[in-house]
Amino acid sequence: MPTSTPIAPPDAADADARAGARPVPQDPPVREVVVGVDGSECGLRAVRWAAHEAARRNAPLRIVHAATYLNRRRAAGAQSAELTRARHITGQAFTVARHSEHDVRASTEVVPGDPVGTLLRAAAAGQLVVLGSSTTGAADELVLAPVTARLAARSPQPVVVVPRQRSGTPAGRPVTAVLGIGDPEDDEAVATFAAAAARRSGVPLALLQTRSTGRTAAQTWADDLQEWTRREPDLDVRRTELARASAGDLLSAACPSPLLVLSAGHGHLLHRTLDGPHRWLLRHCTSPLALVPPVHRRELDPREEIIAIG
């Protein structure tokens, strides 16, 4: 039976002092950076990137492995072997994270479920989702890209896709924000995310405006370099016009870059999909690619949200 030491009742003076004391407000906990792993080298590359980003944000790192194979019914003892495999995957990812950033606060989780639904649920409680991508062309996309594309299209938080092969980025290369995709308000969200990334990394910010001049009459602050100076006085911001640029034009202008940032497109969690240029970039981009959710989205009722993530 558990025991405890009796506590003497406080005297009146102590009671009055406590009654007059006000609770000290506490800062809300920092949301996690979430990274999905599958045991591949590509997944471990994503873990390294996510660990560095979590350290820059002073945020915890949550390592998630969606183990669909744990749902399969097998003979007694087989489940134990599969669980051992799943824990090995997350354990290896944890080791890589701590080697990349010794002080990162990392945790691991094995979820017996679909990768997209699992990561969408994790995204709802996090601030960023990171995923590796091993696709190199259309054939790969048929098998491997659906998870990446579906997650990026439906996530309520920005998704960073880390490519399989990445050449070294020369020092001082800017974080690049692609404007002109979606509504003007989406440009503001992309610009805010990219500016914060550039500031944390200590590099310049390059703005690539793809919307034609005739369609920028209603400019946002993201199009105003004077406003950038006011908002980000210590950030080196450069702007380039790339009206109606193709996905290939964007890569030529932006890469190599520590991060390429653009809007994920339109729609809502149930029906939003990535268009052709987005899918092309997912296949061919050699720099980490951040896809920022659009600003306007129809609110889902609880039943719709369950359908969307499950």
Tens digit of pLDDT for each residue in 111-126? 998 999 999 999 999 9
Dihedral of CA 133/134/137/139: which sign? negative
Predicted pLDDT at 274: 63
What pLDDT was estimated at residue 7?
35
**What digits encode the pLDDT tens for the residues 137-195?**
544 444 445 788 888 888 999 999 998 766 667 888 999 999 988 888 899 999 999 99
Residue 200's Cβ-side half-sphere holds a number of Cα atoms within 13 Å equal to: 16
- pLDDT digits over 49-87, tens only? 999 999 999 999 999 999 988 866 555 555 688 899 999
Phi, psi of 273, rounded to the nearest 5 degrees = -130, 165
Contact (Cβ atoms closer than 8 angstroms) between residue 233 and residue 264: no
Mean pLDDT of the chain: 81
pTM metric for this prediction: 0.81
Query: What domains does the chain contain, in order, with CATH numbers?
Result: 32-133 (3.40.50.620), 175-309 (3.40.50.620)
108/29 Cα distance (integer angstroms): 18
Higher-confidence residue of 266 and 188: namely 188
Q: How far are the Cα atoms of 32, 83, 194, 308 from residue 289, in angstroms, in the given order? A: 19, 32, 11, 24
Question: What type of residue sits at position 263?
Answer: S
Task: Convert 218-268 into a string of H (helix), E (strand) and C (coil).
Answer: CCCHHHCHHHHHHHCCCCCEEEEECCCCCHHHHHHHHCCCCCEEEECCCCC
CA distance 68 to 90: 14
pLDDT at residue 23, as a whole number: 57
Write the Ramachandran bin of 223: left for phi over 0, alpha for psi from -120 to 50, otherwise beta: alpha
Q: Of the segments 28-42, 193-207, 209-223, 272-286, which one has the largest average pLDDT value?
A: 193-207
Specify whether the CB–CB gap between 250 and 280 falls below 8 A.
Answer: no
For position 306, what pLDDT does the model report? 37
